[in-house]
Amino acid sequence: MNSGLTTMGAGDRERVAHFLARSSVENLFLASRLATHGLDRRRLGQVYGYERDGELTSVLLDGGTLFIAGFDPEALPAYVDRLGPIRRCTSILGPAISVLGLFVGLAERYRGAWGGISNIRKRQPLMLLDHLPEVPPDRRVRQLTLDDYPSYLDASVHMYTDEIGSSPFKYGGGYEGFVKDRLKQGDAYGIVDDKGTVIFKADLGPKLGDQAQLQGVWVAPHLRGRGLSVPAMAGMFHLVMERYPLISLYVNDFNTAAIRSYEHLGFVEVGALATVHY
């Protein structure tokens, strides 16, 4: 059996897209970026494929996020060799078994570059919703606009810091632009109180075809525990699921309250991801 690592070029776009479509929910992050940027190294990052007898068994994106798709144990040491001692990413994401195997290989071989992490989420249930929730929706939820930017930015910073354990500004000031782009693209939803303060927010992340991924769910601390988030998310889904009837998300396995809320909305577990944050 012939096997080995291949650097994917522009002519491999459809081949990579076909491979990612085999696990479309799991691979939505990379598939959506591929659809937008193609295999343009300057805009996407470098993509590698691992092949057995001409068939792709794994794909790796070396970009701002190191994303691994599929699982092939022989691909992992090949990726470690290719990535080397210089880390360009701020996180590693993908199926849990592949992410953890790749991280261990990199951290053991190149501890200085790859061993110093902010946190590692070893198992994050991947969940899917394919129908409107039966929960009555909170009709106060609306698409946020640039008029909401100051409060939405504050909410986003709080959400990121709570989730990751560090500031989103540690790599510079690019986070403000990221947040503003979400508003410009119509991917931010929330509830704004009569003082103009965002008290609930949730975002659409990667999108492709009939799929979108839910990200950045946050409730103002003084309103937590009051049953706000479930009807608020239901309100968001009533706004977005006509366009994206398949909504996925991944959540930390220790966040049992969030998992119960998602199950109450109708989400079911379809896999498991892992994330390493630097």
Query: For the stretch 196-215, what's the b/e string if a residue is b when 16 or more beta carbons lie within 10 angstroms of its beta carbon?
Result: eebbbbbbbbbbbeebbbbe
Is 99 in contact with 275 (CB distance < 8 Å)? yes
- The reported pLDDT for the residue numbered 169 is 86
Confidence of residue 1 (pLDDT cuts 50, 70, 90): low
- The reported pLDDT for the residue numbered 167 is 82
Confidence of residue 162 (pLDDT cuts 50, 70, 90): confident
Using the predicted structure, report yes or no on whether residue 171 has a pLDDT greater than 80: no
Domain 3-116 annotated CATH 2.40.128: no
- The reported pLDDT for the residue numbered 174 is 86
Using the predicted structure, report yes or no on whether residue 132 has a pLDDT greater than 80: yes
Mean pLDDT of the chain: 95
For the segment 218-274, what is each residue's pLDDT rounded down to a tens digit?
999 999 999 999 999 999 999 999 999 999 999 999 999 999 999 999 999 999 999
Task: Give the predicted TM-score (pTM) of the model.
Answer: 0.93
For the segment 92-102, what is each residue's pLDDT rounded down to a tens digit?
999 999 999 99
Is 214 in contact with 203 (CB distance < 8 Å)? yes
- The reported pLDDT for the residue numbered 71 is 96
Using the predicted structure, report yes or no on whether residue 173 has a pLDDT greater than 80: no
In percent, the amount of the chain with pLDDT more than 90 equals 92
Identity at 64, one-letter amino acid code: G
- The reported pLDDT for the residue numbered 164 is 79
Residue spans in the chain of domains classed CATH 3.40.630.30: 142-270
* Domain at 142-270, CATH homologous superfamily: Gcn5-related N-acetyltransferase (GNAT) (3.40.630.30)
Tokens of 160: 């990121």
